[in-house]
Structure 1
Amino acid sequence: MTEQSDASRVRIEPWTEADLPLLRRTNAPEMTAHLGGPETEEKLLVRHRRYVEWAGTGTGRRFSIVLVPEREAVGSIGYSERVWRGETVYETGWKVLPAYQGRGIATAAAAAAVAAARADGRRRHLHAFPSVSNAASNAICRRLGFSLMGECDFEFPPGSFMRSNDWRLEL
């Protein structure tokens, strides 16, 4: 028996102060295995502040991924500026809580984030850098029409390097 897709019930909503508990839930070992492991509470609070403040800067956006009509937050997604190979681009990344994975939620949220980055109109390219071993995130990039530019060594979070795929989407 396959689970019903929840993709049609997905909304992305701007990150707010109220999303700190969600950030803590996505900081679990199983959620950060491809990202260098969980961050300290201090680093989480800095990240949360950055996410809240991005909306007014024009340098990025963070969203909570919400299922409707329940209004249940099940993950996060966003994009932010990064200089990559001499070009200022947007970088995107997402996390969906384990109980909600495999239902099309991340793909639907990523499509909505792509639309937001495109509507922003400030950058030509959106990149995603999932670990080469993260099959699910690489599949999302493929489904959404990103072009695989190749493998690279990528630093995320700061101080932690991983072998990643560089996926690029024309905005």
Structure 2
Amino acid sequence: MDGVGGRSGTDGERVRLVPWSEEDLWLLRRTNSPGMTEHLGGPEGEERLLARHRRYVEPGPGRMYRVTLADGGETVGSVGYWQRAWRGTEVWETGWGVLPEFQGRGLAVRAARAVREVARAAGSHRYLHAFPGVDHAASNAVCRGAGFTLLGQTDFEYPRGHWIRSNDWRVDLQRGD
């Protein structure tokens, strides 16, 4: 598969999801800034970045993607989904990041909608969750715009050893909402 398309309504820029590859380490490094990781516990050291990159490249349950503009192919960020045990069942979890110069254009919503459809097609779990911090207005707006339902607040550990108060957003992949 060379990529998956995504669009929000009929207006706006289309995005394409390109499966993460060895050549995408630069994007992890670029997004490893204080501004981009403020709600995720801060920047990671090089060793942790390399380990995360390796997980993104290796096949496993779920998948990470580089998000590009469908017209022109310029990289705008990343999105993915992965397996997680949550409240006694296996679910998909999703997360995204859009480079600062591309924020505010609805691209994260389009990428979240596209990855939602990829997770639906994978068929192995009924639910896709996102857990943005309650104070992360932009990511909560992405969840709303991408059709997730807010289930409430929860304490969530990310990264390991760092607890945050998060909203639990969910999409039912079987019902299509």
Please confirm whether the aligned pair reaches a TM-score higher than 0.5, indicating the same fold: yes
Please say if 1:13 is aligned against 2:18. Answer: yes
Quote how far apart the aligned CAs of 1:114 are: 0.3
Cα distance in 2 for partners of 1:52, 1:81 equals 15
Q: Give unmatched runs, 5+ long, in structure 2.
A: 1-10
Q: What SS class does the counterpart of residue 8 from structure 1 fall into?
A: coil
In the TM superposition, 1:18-97 aligns within 5 A as 18-53=23-58, 56-57=59-60, 59-97=61-99
Q: 1:42 is matched by which residue type in structure 2?
A: E
**1:37-74 Cα deviation digits (max 9, x unpaired):** 00000000000000001xx32x1100001113322211
Quote how far apart the aligned CAs of 1:167 are: 0.5
- Structure ranking higher on relative contact order (CA contacts 8 Å, 6+ apart): 1
Percent identity over paired residues:
60
What is the TM-score when the length of structure 2 is the normalising length? 0.89
Cα distance in 2 for partners of 1:151, 1:76 equals 25
Cα distance in 2 for partners of 1:164, 1:12 equals 26
Runs of 4+ in structure 1 over 4 Å off = none
Say whether the 8 Å CA contact 1:7–1:108 is kept in structure 2: no
Please say if 1:111 is aligned against 2:113. Answer: yes
Q: Which residue of 1 aligns with 2:8?
A: none
Q: Give unmatched runs, 5+ long, in structure 1.
A: 1-5
